[in-house]
Each structure stands twice: as C-alpha cells, then as structure tokens.
Structure 1
C-alpha cells in the first residue's frame, strides 16, 4: 500500500530517504556539467578522428549498459553501437574487511565478440573501477588493436589499467553527497548495494561527448549543456516540497501504487525511457514492471488483460466478503511517447510541453489528437477491458532532450514510490 500523506510531507520523505536518492537526482544536471567539463579537459575536444569507427561497443553493468543502449538509440542506423554485458561471474576473495562479503560485481567477466578488431572502438565505463573483468576486457581489446576509452573514478584499478593499455581515460563523476545512512531493519544484500540513481548521467555524458566528436551521433553542439538545464528544471518541478497535485512525479507514483505497471513505448526514445523506468522501479521501489515497444506489446501482454490482474477478472463473485482481504492488484498501462510535432493537435511554442519550463505532457484520456496506429490501438485495448491508461509525451524535437524529459520524470517517480510504499 502507499502512504499518501508521506508524499506531501517533505520532512518525512527526507527521513525515509536513507541513501539520499532524491538529492542525487536533483544533482543530475550538475553532474552532467561537471562530467562534460572534465571530459573536455581529458582531451575529448582535441581528438582528430579519421572517420567513424566501424562499431562502438559499450561495456559495463547497470547504468553503464543503459547508457550504451541510449547511445544506440541516438545513433540510429548510421552507426553500429552494441552494449556489451557481462557473460560470467567468478568468486572474489575477501580483501577489504574480514566480516564483509566481496561485492558481487567485482567478479563479473566480459568477453569481446570474435569479430571485434582494429576498426572498432571499445568504451568501458564503471562507477567503481574495481571490476577485474573490465580490466581483463581492456587487455583483450588492446591485444586485438581496438581503440579504447575508459570512464572510471580517478585512482581506481581500472583507471590505472587504462594507462597501461593506452586507453583514453575519461573521469567518472561520483555523487558528492555524504555517505548514505544504514536503514533500520533488514538491510539490502551486502554484496549487491543499490546503484546511485543518477549514475546514468555520469556514464552517459562522457560517452555522448565522445560520440559527438567521432560523428557517431548528430546531436546539436549544445545538446549536453541544454540537457543539464532540462534536468535542473525537472528537479524543481519534482522537488519534495512540491504538493502532489503539482508534482508530476508524485502523481505518477500514486497512480502506480497497488498496480502491475505495463510500460509501453512508442518510438525508440520512449523505448529506452521505458526500459530504464522498469529497472528503476525494481531497484528503487521493489516493484515488477513489464516494458516493451508498440506494437509488439499489444500481443505480448494481451493475455494479462483477461487474466487475474484485469479489471474484470472476478465479475461473478460480487457478494464475497472482502473486508479482511488486501486490495487486489490491477494492471496500469503507462504509455510513453516522443511526439516532436506536439500532442492533441498542438505543437511548437503553444504546446503544453513548452510551458513552465517544459517537461513531458500528460495527455488526457479523452484527447482525440493524432496518434499512430499502435498508440490508438493501445488506448482501445485498455478501454475495452477497463484498464487505466496514463500517457506521457515529450514534444521536444531533439531526441536527447526528449529522453531526458521522460527519464528524469520516471526516475523521480520510482524513488517517490519506493519511499512512500509501506509494508503491510
């Protein structure tokens, strides 16, 4: 269940936010600016590439892999961009404290595809810099003659290894918040600590700065500074002391409470945001969610509308005593869209997304504006089964800015949902 009163109590939210996730998200814009400045100081601006690499591989885990997926979306079909996830894990001896287990991610292992060679670029990104598997991956790439870029904290083993294999070292910008408090009660898995919710931007910023220089993306020259401004604007709209009825992230969190979210996306930009939201709901709110692109999800999720989670799943047992039963879970469809031309027949300066600093537009259920066939079919399917559908659309023409709109809103919503959830 959700404690609605907590959402409108900034002091209670602060007490519940043991790892300062809200503060971390509020500082996302500052981290983009810092990462961009440090990437330029590290030499990205001075690169003189001879054309684009044949392929760009982005290795890491968690938000680092998400950054690779976002780069693939922004690059489109003009360049081959492939996220490279870990393929195995090995045991790691305890080296820090005798009583603490080793961090699970330190033992992850990566393997380069067989076709990778001197024409390709490998980008390795890590928030910790202690993964032995990433150090081994850098050595593999060096042996094959790949161009190498490593984003890792200064002084970490991975940053030191980058110098040995002649990689371009780019700094990872950590959060400058104090060390998180230990929450009361049962703690999380000690060898799987929760990820910094704003780490995505620390991974993504140097990656996009590099991609711009190499011609992998066609972003405007000021795309990243403007993204930092958009993240700041979202942090203001979604701040803890903003009332729930004016705070879009709190409103979205309240709608998702007690539901099984189906995160549907129209277009590749919205698809990346939906995948990120599903991961954040699991990590920050402990909630399962299913994400996927239109129109595939219409068939993949069709059976859920007539199953036990559908609104009409129990039509015959009207007189059953439900006093001592918990509220049943129901489906909630969240439709994310990138609509550069505007929604509801509007667009440009008069579009709601360009008012009060911009941000995703919540499209009313009765809006009859132009939609693609997939989005129209999604609305009809939800209406036919009495399943609530909430739609958010970003109207910004630049895909990176649209993605920042959607990701920033849903990141805040996932954190608010986790903070306000009360164990029954």
Structure 2
C-alpha cells in the first residue's frame, strides 16, 4: 500500500522526477496550443479536401502509434482507419509494410517525434508511388521532413517540448528510450486538427483550443502541491498501489483513454494493466475474479487467516472509464459510485449500456473486487478524452514516483 505522505511532499516529488514528467504533463495544454499554431502556419487551415478518403492509415511507433489508436477509436465509425506498426527491417531498424489494397483513394499519415527513421521514409516513398495522399508529422529539418517535400506530402511540424540537445538522457541504455509524456499531445494535436479539417471529427479549431483548456484545468487539480485528499490523481495512485488494474471501457472515448493509461503505467510506473471493452472484457477476464487475485479467493469465514497478508497482497481493481455526456457537468472527471436514479440517466445512454455496466458492477461486488468509475460528462468527446487522459497520466507518474521512494 502506498503511503499518502510520500505523495504529499512536493519537494521530494520534484527531486525524484528526474525526467521532468510532471512538468511535461503540466504543460500539455500549452503543447496543444503550440502544435495547433504550427499546423496552421504549415498550411492546415488552407487545406481544401475533396471529400473524405476511403481509408486513413497512421504509421508510427510509441506515442505516435498510441495517437493513431486514439484517432481510430474516435473516428473509426466515420472512415476506415488502420494503425501501421513496425516490424524488424533488414537493417535492424523498424520497417513498415503498406497493405496491398492501398491506392489513390487513401490517405497515409506518417508520424515520428524523431524523424530519423529510414523505415518511415521508405514507407512514404512507396505510398507516393501508389498515388496515396500523404501527410507527414515530424520535425521539419529531419530526414522524414525533407522526404515529405519530395513526395509532395503536407508537412505538419512536430514541436518538441525542448530542443533535442537540451533533453536529459532518459536512459543510460539507448536501446530502451523513454519518451516525454507530452509527446503524446505533440503528435495527437495535428492528427486531430487534420481529422477535423477532412470531416472525420465534428467541430472546428475551437474544439482543440477547448481541449487545451481542459488539460490546463486538470494540471491545476492534479498539481504536485495539492494534498492527496484533494488531488484525484494522487488518490487514484494510492488505490492502485497494490492492485492489478483491469481497465474496462465503455465507448470509443473510454477505450482510447484506457489504451493510453495502459501504456503510461508500463512506461512510467513499471506496472502491468489489462484492458478490455465491455462487455467482452467480463467474459475474457472473468477467471481472474475467482483466482488468487480476487479478494473472494480468501475464505471470509476463516477467522484465523492472516489479514495482514490480505492487505498487502496483489488484488484486482477494476477501473471503468466512460464518457456520459448526459450527466451534469462538473469540474473535470468525477466518480460514479453507484447506479444513479433512473430519472437522472442520460438519454444518450442506451438501456443495453446500462445493463452491461450493471453486470460489471455485480461481477465486481460478488467477488469483493474494488470497482471505480471515472466518468467525463463533457459534451464533446475529444474534451472528455482530454480529461480522462490527463487524470490517468498524472496517476501513472505519481504511482511510479511513489514506488521509487518506497
């Protein structure tokens, strides 16, 4: 169990955060605004698309691939979206494969925070030969940025938080690089701006400025100087201190946030988490509830069992991430600890969804497994995503810092 006092010492947190992860998360809103301004100056605002593409392919790795997953979750119902992940190449570097069906009706978006990736350069050259429309998100002066000009791609600059030569070494072993957590917003912002421009997402440029505002608000709520009892990210970190998180999601917004949280827990907290969308997650992970990780696996009638071991052992903790725009809007995400009265349920939530969520609650309750719901009530799904991602990003970093201090 994590001691809350470890998270309430802001000075110690700052000393332990050698990678500057908390500072990067605090600046996520500014990162979004800077990326938006750079994309507009690069020509995004002047883009006049001739209809939507048949399919959109996003090629990248790390934060770029995660950003592609978010785009797929949010826009997959409007247009076919595929995320291309690399495999081993002949020169020991990553290599991307272009599907055989890709042609002139499709759009390829190559994303790289570095830009010195020969595999992506070869990919855009092959896509150009097939007549694809091309967009490249990368540092302008990189090899990939220069290749974008040669293949007549729309170059959208990636803006790093700091100059590359100013970055602290993230790992002594260069084969295990860690990314700045703010890189996610650095690549997702131009992706979302492009999606709005070509009609995959509703709204306009103001939508993404509102996203930046939501990130600023979350940074204030989750700041290191806020005590754990008044800081939702620290509170969640304490709850997950000795838990195996089951990140269940309802809807595309929750699914995208769960995928991001899984990646952040692994990278910044060294913790594993299992994700899944309802209702499939209940069937796929039901066996965990009756195994050694479920609280009900210990006989509650055994008076002589060691309850100290019960408290210290690894236990399941279900975290349900949801977007419920019908709920009254409050400041940021909020918890739903029980089923609201029927007259308070939003019209946008179907009866099937309510039954599925009720089943998830019963499953957790029957096996004495903690279940917490993180809900965003924002009307816009991108703003809701920003709230959920900001809270869980801070949680992952706090969890990692507390584990190191422990």
Q: TM-score, normalised by structure 1?
A: 0.88
- Alignment partner, residue 216 of structure 1: 200
* Deviation sequence 1:116-167 (CA, Å, 0-9, x none): 0111110001001111110110111111111111111121111111112111
Query: Secondary structure of 2:155's match?
Result: strand
Aligned-partner SS, 2:141:
coil
What residue number does 1:388 align with? 370
CA shift for structure 1 position 423: 7.5
Matched-pair contact (CA < 8 Å) for 2:124–2:134 = yes
Q: Distance in 2 between matches of 1:83 and 1:321?
A: 48
| Range that drifts further, 118-127 or 220-229 | 220-229
Is residue 169 of structure 2 the alignment partner of residue 196 of structure 1? no
Q: Does 1:288 align with 2:261?
A: no
C-alpha distance after superposition, 1:378-424 (max 9, x if no partner): 11111111111111110111110111110111011000000111487
Distance change (3 Å), C-alpha of 1:213 and 1:326: closer
SS at match of 1:421: helix
Mapped to 2, the partners of 1:365 and 1:325 lie a distance apart of 25
- Pairing 1:88–2:88 present: yes
Aligned residues: 395
Report if aligned partners of 2:336, 2:375 keep a CA contact under 8 Å in 1. Answer: yes
Q: Which residue of 1 aligns with 2:68?
A: 68
Match runs of 1:164-175 below 5 Å:
164-175=150-161
Matches for 1:256-295 after TM superposition, within 5 Å: 256-295=240-279
- For 1:412, the equivalent position in structure 2 comes to 394
User: 1:361 is matched with which residue: 334, 350, 357?
Assistant: 334
CA separation of 1:144 and 1:251: change in aligned 2, threshold 3 A: same
- Tell me the secondary structure at the aligned position of residue 262 of structure 1: strand
Question: Measured at CA, do residues 189 and 311 of structure 1 come closer, stay the same or move farther in structure 2, by a change above 3 Å?
Answer: farther
Question: Which deviates more, 155-164 or 361-370?
Answer: 361-370
How far apart, in 2, do the equivalents of 1:239 and 1:324 lie?
Answer: 33
Over 3 Å counting, the alpha-carbon distance change for 1:332 and 1:212 in structure 2 is same
Task: Using the TM superposition, give the Cα deviation of residue 373 of structure 1 relative to its aligned residue in structure 2, in angstroms.
Answer: 1.2
Is the counterpart of residue 377 in structure 1 residue 359 in structure 2?
Answer: yes
Q: Structure 1 22/55 Cα, relative in aligned 2: closer, same or farther at 3 Å?
A: same
- Alignment counterpart, residue 304 of structure 2, candidates 305, 319, 323: 319
Match of 1:104 in 2: none
Aligned to 1:113: 99
- Three-state SS of the structure 1 residue aligned to 2:45 is helix
TM-score (norm 2): 0.92
Contact residue 6 and residue 405 of structure 2 kept, 8 A: no
CA distances 1:22-71 after superposition (whole Å, capped 9, x unpaired): 00011111111111111011011111221111111111011111211222
Cα deviation for residue 86 of structure 1 reads 1.1
Q: What is the Cα deviation at residue 366 of structure 1?
A: 7.0
Change (3 A) 1:217 1:321: closer
CA distance in 1, matches of 2:173, 2:357: 39
Between 1:231-240 and 1:323-332, the stretch displaced more is 323-332
The answer (yes or no) to whether the contact 1:262–1:333 under 8 Å persists in 2 is yes
Greater share of residues in helix: 2
Q: Report the equivalent of 1:103.
A: none
Is the Cα contact below 8 Å between 1:338 and 1:402 reproduced in 2?
yes
Inter-partner Cα distance in structure 2 for 1:91 and 1:115:
26
Q: Secondary structure of 2:136's partner?
A: strand
Q: Distance in 1 between matches of 2:89 and 2:225?
A: 43
Is the Cα contact below 8 Å between 1:266 and 1:374 reproduced in 2?
A: no
Matched, 1:310 2:310: no
Equivalent residue for 1:99? none
Structure 2 residue runs of 5 or longer lacking an equivalent are: 346-352
Corresponding residue number in structure 1 for 2:349: none
Whole-angstrom CA distance in 2 between matches of 1:261 and 1:368? 28
- Please state how far the C-alpha of 1:15 moved relative to its aligned partner: 0.6
- Tell me, in whole angstroms, the C-alpha distance in 2 between the residues paired with 1:415 and 1:423: 13
Q: Please tell me whether residue 150 in structure 1 is matched to residue 136 in structure 2.
A: yes
Segments of 5+ residues of structure 1 without an aligned counterpart are 93-106
Return closer, same or farther for 1:323/1:217 CA change in 2, 3 Å cut-off.
closer
Residue 311 of structure 2 is aligned to residue 338 of structure 1? no
The offset of 1:321, in angstroms, is 5.9
Tell me if the contact between 1:19 and 1:180 (Cα under 8 Å) persists in the aligned partners: no
TM-superposed deviation, 1:232: 0.6
